[in-house]
Amino acid sequence: MSATLSGTSSRPAETVAQGPGWRALPALMAAVVVLIPMAYLAIRATEVPWSDVVTIVTASRAGEYALNTVVLGLAVSATVLIIGVAIAVGLSRSRISRLRWWLVLSALPLAMPSYLASYGWLVIWPTLSGFGPSWVLLSAVTMPYVVLPTVAALRSVGGEQERVARTLGRGAFQAFLLATWPQIRPAALAGALLTFLYTVSDFGLVAMLRFHTLTWGINAAYSASFDRNQAAVLALLIVLIALVGVLGERRLRGQKKVAIGRLRPVGPALVPWVSKTLFAIMLVPFVIGIVIPMAGLVSRLLQAETRASIDPARLAEATGWTVLVALTAAVTATLIALPIAALAAKYRSRLVSTIESLGYLSHALPGIVVGLALVFLTLGTLPVLYQTLIILVFGYTVLFASKSIGATRSSIESVSGTLIRVARSLGETPFGAWRRVTLPLALPGILVGALLVMVATMKELPATLILRPTGMNTLATELWTKTVAVEYAQAAPYAAILVLVAAIPAMFLAATRSERGEAT
Protein backbone atom coordinates (compact mmCIF):
# COMPACT_ATOMS: atom_id res chain seq x y z
CA MET A 1 0.00 0.00 0.00
CA SER A 2 1.33 3.41 -0.87
CA ALA A 3 1.49 6.14 1.71
CA THR A 4 -1.12 8.85 1.79
CA LEU A 5 0.15 12.40 1.63
CA SER A 6 -3.03 14.24 2.34
CA GLY A 7 -2.04 14.76 5.97
CA THR A 8 -4.91 12.63 7.27
CA SER A 9 -4.93 9.01 8.21
CA SER A 10 -6.79 6.36 6.22
CA ARG A 11 -8.11 5.04 9.55
CA PRO A 12 -11.91 5.30 9.75
CA ALA A 13 -12.92 8.61 11.30
CA GLU A 14 -15.57 7.02 13.47
CA THR A 15 -13.01 4.70 15.01
CA VAL A 16 -10.92 7.66 16.13
CA ALA A 17 -13.87 9.72 17.30
CA GLN A 18 -15.64 7.16 19.49
CA GLY A 19 -14.57 6.70 23.09
CA PRO A 20 -12.20 3.87 24.01
CA GLY A 21 -14.49 2.48 26.72
CA TRP A 22 -13.06 -0.55 28.51
CA ARG A 23 -10.09 -0.57 26.11
CA ALA A 24 -8.58 2.26 28.14
CA LEU A 25 -8.22 -0.01 31.18
CA PRO A 26 -4.97 -1.82 30.17
CA ALA A 27 -3.33 1.50 29.25
CA LEU A 28 -4.49 3.07 32.50
CA MET A 29 -3.09 0.15 34.48
CA ALA A 30 0.25 0.49 32.63
CA ALA A 31 0.37 4.21 33.41
CA VAL A 32 -0.38 3.52 37.07
CA VAL A 33 2.47 0.99 37.22
CA VAL A 34 5.08 3.45 35.97
CA LEU A 35 3.74 6.17 38.28
CA ILE A 36 4.33 4.20 41.49
CA PRO A 37 7.48 6.19 42.39
CA MET A 38 5.61 9.42 41.65
CA ALA A 39 2.90 8.33 44.07
CA TYR A 40 5.62 7.88 46.68
CA LEU A 41 6.79 11.44 46.00
CA ALA A 42 3.26 12.74 46.43
CA ILE A 43 2.94 10.90 49.76
CA ARG A 44 6.25 12.29 50.96
CA ALA A 45 5.27 15.81 49.88
CA THR A 46 1.96 15.69 51.78
CA GLU A 47 3.90 14.76 54.92
CA VAL A 48 6.04 17.89 54.66
CA PRO A 49 4.63 20.84 56.66
CA TRP A 50 3.76 23.82 54.47
CA SER A 51 6.19 26.01 56.37
CA ASP A 52 8.99 23.56 55.53
CA VAL A 53 7.97 23.57 51.85
CA VAL A 54 8.20 27.37 51.79
CA THR A 55 11.60 27.17 53.47
CA ILE A 56 12.84 24.56 51.00
CA VAL A 57 11.69 26.60 48.00
CA THR A 58 12.93 29.97 49.25
CA ALA A 59 15.96 29.18 51.40
CA SER A 60 17.57 26.14 49.75
CA ARG A 61 18.29 27.68 46.33
CA ALA A 62 15.47 25.58 44.88
CA GLY A 63 14.36 28.53 42.75
CA GLU A 64 17.83 28.88 41.28
CA TYR A 65 18.02 25.14 40.63
CA ALA A 66 14.59 25.17 38.97
CA LEU A 67 15.49 28.13 36.75
CA ASN A 68 18.75 26.47 35.72
CA THR A 69 16.85 23.27 34.92
CA VAL A 70 14.21 24.99 32.79
CA VAL A 71 16.69 27.16 30.90
CA LEU A 72 18.99 24.21 30.20
CA GLY A 73 16.07 21.99 29.12
CA LEU A 74 14.64 24.60 26.75
CA ALA A 75 18.04 25.50 25.31
CA VAL A 76 19.00 21.87 24.64
CA SER A 77 15.63 20.80 23.20
CA ALA A 78 15.38 23.89 20.95
CA THR A 79 18.94 23.35 19.70
CA VAL A 80 18.35 19.67 19.03
CA LEU A 81 15.02 20.35 17.29
CA ILE A 82 16.41 22.96 14.88
CA ILE A 83 19.73 21.30 14.12
CA GLY A 84 18.27 17.77 14.21
CA VAL A 85 15.65 18.59 11.57
CA ALA A 86 18.33 20.25 9.40
CA ILE A 87 20.54 17.17 9.68
CA ALA A 88 17.60 14.89 8.84
CA VAL A 89 16.84 16.93 5.72
CA GLY A 90 20.48 16.68 4.68
CA LEU A 91 20.51 12.91 5.18
CA SER A 92 17.21 12.39 3.36
CA ARG A 93 17.67 14.68 0.38
CA SER A 94 21.33 14.50 -0.47
CA ARG A 95 22.05 12.22 -3.38
CA ILE A 96 24.74 10.12 -1.70
CA SER A 97 25.61 6.45 -1.51
CA ARG A 98 25.78 4.41 1.69
CA LEU A 99 23.10 6.47 3.40
CA ARG A 100 22.70 3.79 6.06
CA TRP A 101 26.27 4.30 7.23
CA TRP A 102 25.67 8.03 7.58
CA LEU A 103 22.56 7.22 9.62
CA VAL A 104 24.62 4.96 11.85
CA LEU A 105 27.12 7.77 12.31
CA SER A 106 24.36 10.19 13.28
CA ALA A 107 22.99 7.65 15.81
CA LEU A 108 26.27 6.89 17.58
CA PRO A 109 25.99 9.75 20.14
CA LEU A 110 23.14 7.71 21.66
CA ALA A 111 25.76 5.20 22.78
CA MET A 112 27.67 7.80 24.78
CA PRO A 113 26.47 8.27 28.38
CA SER A 114 26.29 11.95 29.23
CA TYR A 115 28.51 11.56 32.29
CA LEU A 116 31.05 9.67 30.18
CA ALA A 117 31.06 12.42 27.55
CA SER A 118 31.77 15.01 30.24
CA TYR A 119 34.46 12.78 31.76
CA GLY A 120 36.23 12.49 28.38
CA TRP A 121 36.14 16.25 27.93
CA LEU A 122 37.41 16.87 31.46
CA VAL A 123 40.40 14.63 30.78
CA ILE A 124 41.37 17.04 28.00
CA TRP A 125 40.01 20.26 29.52
CA PRO A 126 39.97 19.92 33.34
CA THR A 127 38.55 23.42 34.02
CA LEU A 128 35.44 22.91 31.88
CA SER A 129 32.26 23.81 33.81
CA GLY A 130 28.99 25.74 33.80
CA PHE A 131 25.95 26.24 31.59
CA GLY A 132 27.68 26.56 28.20
CA PRO A 133 29.52 23.22 28.24
CA SER A 134 26.46 21.48 29.72
CA TRP A 135 24.28 22.89 26.94
CA VAL A 136 26.67 21.89 24.16
CA LEU A 137 27.42 18.38 25.44
CA LEU A 138 23.80 17.51 26.21
CA SER A 139 22.77 18.77 22.75
CA ALA A 140 25.41 16.57 21.14
CA VAL A 141 24.49 13.35 22.94
CA THR A 142 20.72 13.80 22.50
CA MET A 143 20.74 14.90 18.84
CA PRO A 144 19.71 11.41 17.55
CA TYR A 145 16.41 11.68 19.43
CA VAL A 146 15.27 14.16 16.75
CA VAL A 147 17.40 13.11 13.77
CA LEU A 148 16.32 9.46 13.59
CA PRO A 149 12.52 9.84 13.78
CA THR A 150 12.62 12.87 11.47
CA VAL A 151 14.60 10.94 8.85
CA ALA A 152 12.01 8.17 9.05
CA ALA A 153 9.18 10.69 8.64
CA LEU A 154 10.86 12.40 5.68
CA ARG A 155 11.48 9.08 3.98
CA SER A 156 7.82 8.15 4.29
CA VAL A 157 6.00 11.39 3.39
CA GLY A 158 7.97 12.01 0.19
CA GLY A 159 8.12 15.42 -1.47
CA GLU A 160 5.23 15.72 -3.94
CA GLN A 161 3.40 18.44 -2.03
CA GLU A 162 6.61 20.41 -1.61
CA ARG A 163 7.28 20.21 -5.34
CA VAL A 164 3.79 21.55 -6.01
CA ALA A 165 4.45 24.46 -3.63
CA ARG A 166 7.69 25.20 -5.49
CA THR A 167 5.84 25.32 -8.83
CA LEU A 168 3.44 27.84 -7.29
CA GLY A 169 6.28 30.27 -6.66
CA ARG A 170 7.25 29.40 -3.10
CA GLY A 171 10.91 29.44 -2.16
CA ALA A 172 12.63 26.24 -1.05
CA PHE A 173 12.48 27.01 2.67
CA GLN A 174 8.92 28.36 2.54
CA ALA A 175 7.73 25.33 0.56
CA PHE A 176 9.30 23.05 3.17
CA LEU A 177 7.53 24.86 6.00
CA LEU A 178 4.16 24.84 4.23
CA ALA A 179 4.11 21.32 2.77
CA THR A 180 6.56 19.08 4.62
CA TRP A 181 6.98 20.44 8.14
CA PRO A 182 3.34 19.83 9.19
CA GLN A 183 3.75 16.16 8.23
CA ILE A 184 7.04 15.54 10.04
CA ARG A 185 6.23 17.78 13.02
CA PRO A 186 4.84 14.99 15.27
CA ALA A 187 8.01 12.90 14.91
CA ALA A 188 10.35 15.86 15.39
CA LEU A 189 8.49 17.22 18.43
CA ALA A 190 8.31 13.77 20.03
CA GLY A 191 12.11 13.61 19.77
CA ALA A 192 12.44 17.12 21.19
CA LEU A 193 10.21 16.12 24.11
CA LEU A 194 12.43 13.14 24.91
CA THR A 195 15.42 15.47 24.77
CA PHE A 196 13.76 17.90 27.18
CA LEU A 197 12.85 15.12 29.62
CA TYR A 198 16.35 13.64 29.39
CA THR A 199 17.91 17.03 30.09
CA VAL A 200 15.82 17.95 33.14
CA SER A 201 16.47 14.50 34.68
CA ASP A 202 20.19 14.29 33.90
CA PHE A 203 22.51 14.12 36.87
CA GLY A 204 25.94 12.78 35.89
CA LEU A 205 26.90 15.41 33.30
CA VAL A 206 25.70 18.48 35.20
CA ALA A 207 27.32 17.17 38.40
CA MET A 208 30.70 16.66 36.71
CA LEU A 209 30.49 20.05 34.99
CA ARG A 210 29.37 21.73 38.23
CA PHE A 211 26.16 23.25 36.86
CA HIS A 212 23.57 23.16 39.64
CA THR A 213 20.16 21.89 38.52
CA LEU A 214 17.34 20.27 40.48
CA THR A 215 18.93 16.82 40.14
CA TRP A 216 22.09 18.16 41.71
CA GLY A 217 20.03 19.61 44.56
CA ILE A 218 18.28 16.27 45.11
CA ASN A 219 21.56 14.40 45.26
CA ALA A 220 23.00 16.98 47.66
CA ALA A 221 19.95 16.62 49.92
CA TYR A 222 20.30 12.84 50.10
CA SER A 223 24.09 12.80 50.33
CA ALA A 224 24.51 15.54 52.94
CA SER A 225 21.71 14.74 55.39
CA PHE A 226 19.51 12.08 53.76
CA ASP A 227 16.78 14.73 53.74
CA ARG A 228 13.95 12.91 51.97
CA ASN A 229 11.52 15.80 52.45
CA GLN A 230 13.71 18.31 50.62
CA ALA A 231 14.51 15.81 47.89
CA ALA A 232 10.83 14.97 47.43
CA VAL A 233 9.89 18.65 47.05
CA LEU A 234 12.68 19.22 44.53
CA ALA A 235 11.69 16.08 42.62
CA LEU A 236 8.09 17.28 42.43
CA LEU A 237 9.38 20.50 40.88
CA ILE A 238 11.00 18.36 38.18
CA VAL A 239 7.71 16.52 37.65
CA LEU A 240 5.91 19.87 37.27
CA ILE A 241 8.46 21.04 34.71
CA ALA A 242 8.08 17.75 32.84
CA LEU A 243 4.29 18.04 32.86
CA VAL A 244 4.49 21.50 31.31
CA GLY A 245 6.87 20.12 28.67
CA VAL A 246 4.57 17.19 27.83
CA LEU A 247 1.50 19.42 27.56
CA GLY A 248 3.40 21.91 25.42
CA GLU A 249 4.54 19.19 23.04
CA ARG A 250 0.98 17.86 22.84
CA ARG A 251 -0.35 21.30 21.90
CA LEU A 252 2.32 21.96 19.28
CA ARG A 253 2.21 18.49 17.76
CA GLY A 254 -1.38 18.74 16.54
CA GLN A 255 -3.39 15.76 15.38
CA LYS A 256 -2.04 15.43 11.84
CA LYS A 257 -0.99 11.88 11.02
CA VAL A 258 0.88 10.40 8.09
CA ALA A 259 0.34 6.87 6.88
CA ILE A 260 3.63 5.12 6.22
CA GLY A 261 3.81 2.55 3.48
CA ARG A 262 6.03 2.10 0.44
CA LEU A 263 9.22 4.16 0.44
CA ARG A 264 8.57 7.31 -1.58
CA PRO A 265 10.92 9.79 -3.24
CA VAL A 266 12.79 11.74 -0.59
CA GLY A 267 11.85 15.14 -1.97
CA PRO A 268 13.53 17.91 -3.94
CA ALA A 269 17.29 17.48 -4.13
CA LEU A 270 19.41 19.97 -2.24
CA VAL A 271 21.79 22.29 -4.03
CA PRO A 272 25.40 21.13 -3.50
CA TRP A 273 26.50 23.88 -1.10
CA VAL A 274 23.47 23.33 1.14
CA SER A 275 24.04 19.58 1.14
CA LYS A 276 27.70 19.99 2.10
CA THR A 277 26.81 22.48 4.85
CA LEU A 278 24.24 20.14 6.38
CA PHE A 279 26.67 17.22 6.32
CA ALA A 280 29.27 19.38 8.03
CA ILE A 281 26.67 20.24 10.69
CA MET A 282 25.89 16.53 11.08
CA LEU A 283 29.51 15.83 11.99
CA VAL A 284 29.50 18.38 14.83
CA PRO A 285 27.47 16.29 17.34
CA PHE A 286 29.52 13.23 16.41
CA VAL A 287 32.80 15.06 17.04
CA ILE A 288 31.62 16.72 20.27
CA GLY A 289 29.75 13.74 21.66
CA ILE A 290 31.94 10.85 20.48
CA VAL A 291 35.32 11.76 18.98
CA ILE A 292 36.65 14.15 21.62
CA PRO A 293 35.39 12.18 24.66
CA MET A 294 36.81 8.98 23.14
CA ALA A 295 40.10 10.76 22.55
CA GLY A 296 40.21 11.51 26.27
CA LEU A 297 39.42 7.88 27.08
CA VAL A 298 42.00 6.53 24.65
CA SER A 299 44.64 8.78 26.16
CA ARG A 300 43.90 7.09 29.49
CA LEU A 301 43.86 3.61 27.98
CA LEU A 302 47.30 4.10 26.44
CA GLN A 303 48.88 4.78 29.78
CA ALA A 304 50.92 1.94 31.20
CA GLU A 305 49.10 1.85 34.56
CA THR A 306 45.78 1.39 32.75
CA ARG A 307 46.94 -1.71 30.89
CA ALA A 308 48.35 -3.14 34.08
CA SER A 309 45.08 -2.63 35.99
CA ILE A 310 42.74 -4.48 33.59
CA ASP A 311 40.94 -7.44 35.20
CA PRO A 312 39.49 -9.48 32.26
CA ALA A 313 37.18 -11.61 34.44
CA ARG A 314 35.68 -8.62 36.25
CA LEU A 315 35.31 -6.74 32.96
CA ALA A 316 33.52 -9.70 31.34
CA GLU A 317 31.20 -10.12 34.33
CA ALA A 318 30.20 -6.44 34.27
CA THR A 319 29.60 -6.65 30.51
CA GLY A 320 27.38 -9.71 30.91
CA TRP A 321 25.24 -8.09 33.60
CA THR A 322 24.92 -4.93 31.49
CA VAL A 323 23.63 -6.84 28.46
CA LEU A 324 21.30 -9.05 30.51
CA VAL A 325 19.52 -6.25 32.37
CA ALA A 326 19.31 -4.11 29.21
CA LEU A 327 17.58 -6.88 27.23
CA THR A 328 15.21 -7.67 30.08
CA ALA A 329 14.33 -4.02 30.61
CA ALA A 330 13.73 -3.50 26.88
CA VAL A 331 11.19 -6.34 26.79
CA THR A 332 9.45 -5.24 30.00
CA ALA A 333 9.29 -1.55 29.07
CA THR A 334 7.93 -2.39 25.61
CA LEU A 335 5.15 -4.51 27.10
CA ILE A 336 4.23 -1.67 29.46
CA ALA A 337 4.34 0.96 26.68
CA LEU A 338 2.35 -1.07 24.14
CA PRO A 339 -1.18 -0.61 25.58
CA ILE A 340 -0.59 3.12 26.12
CA ALA A 341 0.77 3.61 22.60
CA ALA A 342 -1.97 1.50 20.98
CA LEU A 343 -4.70 3.48 22.75
CA ALA A 344 -3.15 6.85 21.84
CA ALA A 345 -2.75 5.78 18.21
CA LYS A 346 -6.41 4.85 17.79
CA TYR A 347 -8.41 7.25 19.96
CA ARG A 348 -8.58 10.99 20.52
CA SER A 349 -10.12 12.02 23.82
CA ARG A 350 -9.18 13.88 26.97
CA LEU A 351 -8.86 10.58 28.85
CA VAL A 352 -6.52 9.08 26.26
CA SER A 353 -4.40 12.23 26.12
CA THR A 354 -4.13 12.20 29.91
CA ILE A 355 -3.06 8.56 30.02
CA GLU A 356 -0.40 9.11 27.35
CA SER A 357 0.90 12.20 29.14
CA LEU A 358 1.14 10.30 32.42
CA GLY A 359 3.14 7.61 30.64
CA TYR A 360 5.75 10.21 29.70
CA LEU A 361 6.07 11.84 33.10
CA SER A 362 8.10 9.13 34.81
CA HIS A 363 10.97 9.71 32.40
CA ALA A 364 11.62 13.07 34.05
CA LEU A 365 12.18 11.48 37.45
CA PRO A 366 15.87 11.31 38.35
CA GLY A 367 17.19 7.78 38.71
CA ILE A 368 18.20 8.45 42.32
CA VAL A 369 14.58 9.33 43.22
CA VAL A 370 13.15 6.26 41.49
CA GLY A 371 15.75 4.08 43.18
CA LEU A 372 15.12 5.37 46.68
CA ALA A 373 11.35 5.30 46.18
CA LEU A 374 11.50 1.63 45.22
CA VAL A 375 13.80 0.86 48.15
CA PHE A 376 11.24 2.46 50.47
CA LEU A 377 8.35 0.54 48.90
CA THR A 378 10.07 -2.85 48.90
CA LEU A 379 11.29 -2.55 52.47
CA GLY A 380 7.85 -1.43 53.61
CA THR A 381 5.70 -3.87 51.63
CA LEU A 382 7.73 -6.67 49.98
CA PRO A 383 11.13 -6.92 51.68
CA VAL A 384 11.80 -10.22 49.91
CA LEU A 385 12.21 -8.22 46.67
CA TYR A 386 14.73 -5.78 48.14
CA GLN A 387 17.89 -5.57 45.99
CA THR A 388 16.73 -8.16 43.46
CA LEU A 389 16.86 -8.16 39.68
CA ILE A 390 13.07 -7.86 39.61
CA ILE A 391 13.12 -4.47 41.32
CA LEU A 392 16.14 -3.33 39.29
CA VAL A 393 14.38 -4.12 36.00
CA PHE A 394 11.17 -2.53 37.29
CA GLY A 395 13.13 0.63 38.07
CA TYR A 396 14.47 0.69 34.50
CA THR A 397 10.93 0.17 33.19
CA VAL A 398 9.65 3.13 35.19
CA LEU A 399 12.47 5.33 33.95
CA PHE A 400 12.47 4.38 30.26
CA ALA A 401 9.03 3.10 29.21
CA SER A 402 8.33 6.59 27.83
CA LYS A 403 11.11 6.11 25.29
CA SER A 404 9.06 3.33 23.74
CA ILE A 405 5.68 5.07 23.78
CA GLY A 406 6.38 7.65 21.06
CA ALA A 407 7.98 5.28 18.55
CA THR A 408 5.33 2.60 19.14
CA ARG A 409 2.43 5.05 18.86
CA SER A 410 3.69 6.53 15.60
CA SER A 411 4.22 3.07 14.13
CA ILE A 412 0.76 1.79 15.08
CA GLU A 413 -1.11 4.87 13.87
CA SER A 414 0.68 4.64 10.51
CA VAL A 415 -1.00 1.31 9.70
CA SER A 416 -3.65 1.82 7.04
CA GLY A 417 -7.22 1.54 8.27
CA THR A 418 -8.15 0.02 4.91
CA LEU A 419 -6.07 -3.07 5.67
CA ILE A 420 -7.78 -3.45 9.04
CA ARG A 421 -11.23 -3.16 7.46
CA VAL A 422 -10.29 -5.79 4.87
CA ALA A 423 -9.20 -8.16 7.63
CA ARG A 424 -12.46 -7.59 9.51
CA SER A 425 -14.49 -8.18 6.35
CA LEU A 426 -12.74 -11.56 6.00
CA GLY A 427 -14.02 -12.64 9.39
CA GLU A 428 -11.24 -11.56 11.74
CA THR A 429 -12.14 -10.36 15.20
CA PRO A 430 -10.84 -6.94 16.29
CA PHE A 431 -8.02 -8.62 18.22
CA GLY A 432 -7.31 -10.99 15.33
CA ALA A 433 -7.06 -8.08 12.90
CA TRP A 434 -4.74 -6.28 15.29
CA ARG A 435 -2.55 -9.38 15.73
CA ARG A 436 -2.36 -10.31 12.05
CA VAL A 437 -2.30 -6.84 10.44
CA THR A 438 -1.41 -4.04 12.84
CA LEU A 439 1.24 -5.80 14.90
CA PRO A 440 3.40 -7.09 12.00
CA LEU A 441 3.31 -3.73 10.21
CA ALA A 442 4.03 -1.79 13.40
CA LEU A 443 6.79 -4.13 14.56
CA PRO A 444 9.71 -2.04 13.18
CA GLY A 445 8.58 0.98 15.23
CA ILE A 446 8.07 -1.18 18.32
CA LEU A 447 11.61 -2.50 17.86
CA VAL A 448 12.89 1.07 17.65
CA GLY A 449 11.33 1.81 21.03
CA ALA A 450 12.88 -1.34 22.54
CA LEU A 451 16.32 -0.38 21.23
CA LEU A 452 15.98 3.09 22.75
CA VAL A 453 15.24 1.46 26.11
CA MET A 454 18.27 -0.83 25.74
CA VAL A 455 20.64 2.04 25.08
CA ALA A 456 19.25 4.07 27.99
CA THR A 457 19.44 1.10 30.37
CA MET A 458 23.08 0.42 29.58
CA LYS A 459 23.91 4.02 30.47
CA GLU A 460 21.74 4.39 33.59
CA LEU A 461 23.77 4.98 36.75
CA PRO A 462 21.99 6.34 39.88
CA ALA A 463 19.11 3.82 39.93
CA THR A 464 21.54 0.98 39.24
CA LEU A 465 23.77 1.98 42.15
CA ILE A 466 20.80 1.91 44.54
CA LEU A 467 18.75 -1.05 43.25
CA ARG A 468 21.34 -3.58 42.06
CA PRO A 469 21.68 -6.85 43.97
CA THR A 470 24.66 -7.14 46.28
CA GLY A 471 27.76 -8.18 44.35
CA MET A 472 26.33 -7.27 40.95
CA ASN A 473 28.21 -4.63 38.97
CA THR A 474 27.46 -3.24 35.53
CA LEU A 475 29.85 -1.34 33.31
CA ALA A 476 28.28 1.95 34.42
CA THR A 477 28.61 1.23 38.16
CA GLU A 478 32.19 0.00 37.79
CA LEU A 479 33.07 3.14 35.83
CA TRP A 480 31.47 5.45 38.38
CA THR A 481 32.96 3.67 41.40
CA LYS A 482 36.48 3.90 40.06
CA THR A 483 36.00 7.49 38.89
CA VAL A 484 34.77 8.57 42.33
CA ALA A 485 37.82 6.86 43.84
CA VAL A 486 39.98 8.88 41.40
CA GLU A 487 41.11 5.64 39.79
CA TYR A 488 40.92 7.06 36.28
CA ALA A 489 43.27 4.50 34.79
CA GLN A 490 41.17 1.60 36.14
CA ALA A 491 37.94 3.28 34.95
CA ALA A 492 39.05 3.67 31.35
CA PRO A 493 38.55 0.01 30.21
CA TYR A 494 34.99 -0.05 31.57
CA ALA A 495 34.26 3.24 29.82
CA ALA A 496 35.55 1.94 26.50
CA ILE A 497 33.59 -1.33 26.69
CA LEU A 498 30.44 0.54 27.74
CA VAL A 499 30.63 2.71 24.62
CA LEU A 500 31.22 -0.32 22.38
CA VAL A 501 28.39 -2.36 23.90
CA ALA A 502 25.91 0.53 23.77
CA ALA A 503 26.91 1.26 20.16
CA ILE A 504 25.52 -2.10 19.01
CA PRO A 505 21.82 -1.36 19.69
CA ALA A 506 22.41 2.22 18.55
CA MET A 507 23.56 0.95 15.14
CA PHE A 508 20.59 -1.40 14.89
CA LEU A 509 18.41 1.56 15.80
CA ALA A 510 19.78 3.60 12.91
CA ALA A 511 19.38 0.68 10.51
CA THR A 512 15.77 0.15 11.60
CA ARG A 513 14.99 3.85 11.22
CA SER A 514 16.48 3.88 7.73
CA GLU A 515 14.06 1.16 6.63
CA ARG A 516 10.88 2.64 8.15
CA GLY A 517 8.31 3.07 5.46
CA GLU A 518 9.79 0.51 3.08
CA ALA A 519 7.18 -2.15 3.61
CA THR A 520 5.03 -2.81 0.63
pLDDT tens for each residue of 327-375: 999 999 999 998 988 888 888 788 888 888 888 777 767 787 788 788 8
With b for 16 or more beta-carbon neighbours within 10 A and e for fewer, the 389-405 pattern comes to bebbbbbbbbbbbbbbb
Residue 455 has pLDDT above 60, yes or no: yes
Averaging pLDDT over each range in 246-250, 449-453, 483-487, which range is the top one? 449-453
Binning pLDDT at 50, 70 and 90, where does residue 3 land? Answer: very low
**Strand, helix or coil for residue 352:** helix
Averaged confidence pLDDT in the chain:
78
Residue 167 has pLDDT above 90, yes or no: no
* Phi, psi angles (nearest 5°) of residue 372: -70, -35
Binning pLDDT at 50, 70 and 90, where does residue 161 land? Answer: low
Domain boundaries, the chain: 13-514
As a whole number of angstroms, the distance between CA 383 and CA 376 comes to 9
Where on the phi/psi map is residue 98: left (φ > 0), alpha (ψ -120 to 50), or beta?
A: left
- Structural Rg of the chain based on CA atoms: 23
Closest CA to 201 of 55, 81, 341, 360: 360
**Strand, helix or coil for residue 513:** helix
Domain 13-514 superfamily per CATH: MetI-like (1.10.3720.10)
Model-level pTM? 0.73
